[in-house]
Copies of this chain bind each other. A is one copy, B any other.
Amino acid sequence: MTEITSPPRSPSGIDIAEWTRDRIRKGRLVPGQRLVEVDITRQTGASRSKVREALQRLEGEGLVQIDPFRGASVRTASIEEVRQIYRARIALEGIAAGDFVRNADAGQRARLRELQEKLESCVAGNAPERFGRLNTEWHGLLVEGSGNAVIADVLRRLNVPIHRLLFESFYNADRLRVAIADHALIIAAIDANDPDAAEAAMRKHIADGFHTLSAIDHEVRG
């Protein structure tokens, strides 16, 4: 062996797919918005070929929709699709909670409790945005601790179309308190080393989250 093989450096410039993904996540690009190739070209400095490849990739990931001769637009999730996504979340995060009990190490358990305390500190201060971020982190940590990268990846993708929704419900102080109580139940089941109880509690937590959402939606539209 002569030399450490240098890691193959990426082709060049910034990754358009990542750039776009970020802007969708941050809410800078709203659902339904059209993604004009030349605009992205101007804003990123990349050529159209790269932009087109990135958009195709994003359609593969299910983030954007491409219509012939009409280009790409940020995919919109209908109410029915949101329901279906939540159903998938119930299944996946549920089993992940059970697997967290089975597989997570002490450090991950500790970090989960730390995050929980931070979440609790948001209740008094009424900080919904911060709560939303920490909540995302909490759920992410739980899935990570389950030791299943495939499920983690699927959940990341499923969450993108409903990213904004995940934050909106936390502007209601009651919802915050209920969510924290749910988390506490899940953590209790984890501490008791009871996978089934953890799974059941997580399922209930997410189902409640959806019900809160549909209530909001009903209010807004009705």
Which of chain A's residues 138-156 have a Cβ closer than 8 Å to chain B?
148-151, 153-154
The reply to whether A8 and B69 contact each other, CB–CB distance below 8 Å, is yes
| Size class of the A contact interface (CB-based, 8 Å) | 35 or more
Chain A binding surface, main DSSP class:
helix
Q: A56-B56, A56-B60, A154-B154 are in contact. Are A87 and B67 (CB under 8 A)?
A: no
Q: How many of these chains are in the complex? A: 2
Which residues of chain B have C-beta atoms less than 8 A from A56's C-beta? 53-54, 56-57, 60
The reply to whether A68 and B151 contact each other, CB–CB distance below 8 Å, is no
Stretch at the interface among A92-100, A120-128, A185-193: A92-100
Residue A181, interface by CB 8 Å: no
Residue A81, interface by CB 8 Å: yes
- Binary interface profile of A, 79-98, with partner B (CB < 8 Å = 1, else 0)? 00100110110111011000
